[in-house]
Amino acid sequence: MTDVYSEEKRSEVMRCVRGKNTNPEMRVRSALHRSGYRFRLHRSDLPGKPDIVLPLYNTVIFVNGCFWHQHPGCRKATIPQNNKLFWKKKLSRTVERDKQNRKDLQRLGWNIITIWECEMRTSFDTTMSRVFAQLMHLGQQKVKRG
């Protein structure tokens, strides 16, 4: 299957893809803030520059796009037909970098929550309930230890 866009148009479309402050990320941040959670954004001193950092809970949240981070089992995690070798290499490097960043964060003692773009499309409330439950659990553990 060939691309529906010309090479120039595809390049323009790809340039518009943002790495920070995406709509899914903004929705998660808004829900967290409304619920009273306070956080930092894109801390460059942490591996992978997590989208959201909750220092009080020693937790980071990644809001991942299914295509760019190759969400296993998701229909959006496909390899484009044009320039297939390039895309396969590029996307597999992203997946490997994500794995390494997770290992490094865990080694530093951080808890990691990953939210996938497709989860938010199908059931944002359920996804956020899961996140809030995890944060509540982490908060209770911290109280018991501290």
Look at residue 139 in the predicted model and tell me its pLDDT. Answer: 83
Per-residue pLDDT for 146 more than 80? Answer: no
135 class by beta-carbon count within 10 Å (0-12 exposed, 13-18 middle, 19+ buried): buried
Q: What is the pTM of this model?
A: 0.85
pLDDT band for 17, please (50, 70, 90 cuts). low
Domain boundaries, position 118: 18-145
Strands 111-116 and 59-64: parallel
Mean confidence (pLDDT) of the chain = 89
Q: 28-61 pLDDT, tens per residue? A: 999 999 999 999 999 999 999 999 999 999 999 9
Q: State phi, psi for 98 to the nearest 5 degrees.
A: -60, -45
Residue 47 belongs to a domain: yes
Q: Which H or E element spans position 52? A: strand 52-54
Q: pLDDT band at 82, cuts 50/70/90? A: confident
Interacting residues of 122 by C-beta distance below 8 A, sequence separation 6+: none
Which stretch of DSSP H or E encloses residue 92?
A: helix 84-107
94 in a structural domain = yes
55 domain-assigned: yes
**For the ranges 43-52, 92-101, 107-116, 132-141, which has the lowest average pLDDT?**
132-141
Name the pLDDT band for 113 (thresholds 50, 70, 90): very high
Asked whether residue 3 is domain-assigned, the answer is no
11 in any annotated domain: no
Burial 34-69 (b: 16+ CB within 10 A, else e): eeebebeeebeebbbbbbbbbeebebbbbbbbbbbb
Q: How many structural domains comprise the chain?
A: 1
**Whether the predicted pLDDT of 109 surpasses 80:** yes
Q: Look at residue 2 and tell me if it is in a domain.
A: no
Q: Residue 35 is part of a domain; what is its CATH number?
A: 3.40.960.10
Q: Is there a domain that residue 79 lies in?
A: yes
In-domain check, residue 87: yes
